[in-house]
Amino acid sequence: MNKIDLTFTVNGGVRTVATKPHRTLLNVLREDLDLISVKEGCSQGDCGACVVIMDGFAVNSCLVLAPQAQGSEIITLEGLAQNGELHPLQKMFIEKWAFQCGYCTPGILMSCYALLLHNPVPTPDEVKDAISGNLCRCTGYQAIIDAVMAAVAS
């Protein structure tokens, strides 16, 4: 299979990757660009561990074929902290113990970040809704919702 050149913006920088077109955005981000925050949990859009921001919206990167990302703007958890300063979501996730094993955390943080892009002052129910596609087996979700609300308040 011939490779295609995929050019897109990742965490503010323009990147070009030669990839076979049947690979997913998850594969390209993890394997070609070494963005390890993008986790693989199921590869079929059930768990949300691979959620990234694509053109302002949270997407399961395992369900995005690489060519679909052509010209798009992608943000992963690696791009959330600005100039070494943690995003309020990150600060509150640490403070509130909003993770345990941490495997689902990057995807959940990106879902929450996407929520705040569109709705800077969400209600707890809106936070629940925003992370409803992200499975977490450790925390029981409550600490995550508390952390997002604390980040909003700050």
Partner 1 sequence: MIKGSELGTSIIGKNATAIGGLEIIKGQARYCADLKIPGTLIGKLLYSKSPSAQVTKLDVSHARNLPGVAAVLTYKDVPGKNSYLYVYDDQPLLVSDIVRYQGDIIAAVAAEDEDAALSALDAIEVEYELLPGVFDPVEAMKPDSPRVWPGKDNITAHIVEEHGDIRAGFDQADIIIDNTYTTQRVEHAFLETESALAYADHDGTLIVYSSTQSPHSDRKQIARALAIPENQVRVMVPFVGGAFGGKMEATIQIHAALLAYKTKRPVRIQRTREESILTHVKRHPMTIHYRTGATKEGLLTAVKFEVISDTGPYINSGEEVLGASITLGYGPYNVPNARAEGFLVLTNNPICGAMRGFGLPQVNFAYEQQMDELAERLGIDPVEIRLRNGMKSGSTLPAGVKVLDGRGMKGTIAEAMRLSKWKDRSLIARQPEAHLRRGRGVGCSLYSTGYGAGVPDSASASLDMAADGSVLLRSGAADMGQGVHTVLAQIAAEMLGVKVSSIKLVTPDTQVTPDAGPSVASRATYVSGNAVIKAALPIRKSLLEVAAQITGLDIDLLSLRDGYLFAEGEELHLTVAGLATKALEKGLQMHAEGYYSVVLPGDYPEDEDPNKTEPFTFATHVAQVIVDIETGDIQVEKYIAVHDPGKMINIGSGLGQIAGGIVQGQGYSLMEELAVEHGYTQNLSLESYLIPTSMDVPEMEIGFVEFPYKYGPMGAKGLGEIPTAPVNAAIANAVANAIGARVRHLPITPECVLDALDKQ
Sites of contact with partner 1 (CB under 8 A): 34-37, 39-44, 46-47, 49, 76-78, 80-81, 86, 90, 93-97, 99-106, 109, 127-129, 131-145
Dump the DSSP string for 72-117: -EEE-GGGTSBTTBPPHHHHHHHHTT--SS-SSHHHHHHHHHHHHH
* Residue closer to partner 1 (CB basis): 70 or 142: 142
Cα 35 → chain centroid: 11
- For the CB of residue 150, give the shortest distance to partner 1 in the complex, in Å: 13
Give the separation between CA 118 and CA 120, rounded to whole angstroms. 6
* Residue closer to partner 1 (CB basis): 39 or 74: 39
* Residue closer to partner 1 (CB basis): 7 or 139: 139
Packing angle of the helix pair 142-153, 105-118 (nearest 10 deg): 40
143, 83 contact by CB (below 8 A) = no
- For the CB of residue 111, give the shortest distance to partner 1 in the complex, in Å: 10
- For the CB of residue 115, give the shortest distance to partner 1 in the complex, in Å: 12
- For the CB of residue 45, give the shortest distance to partner 1 in the complex, in Å: 8
Cα 52 → chain centroid: 3
* Residue closer to partner 1 (CB basis): 41 or 73: 41
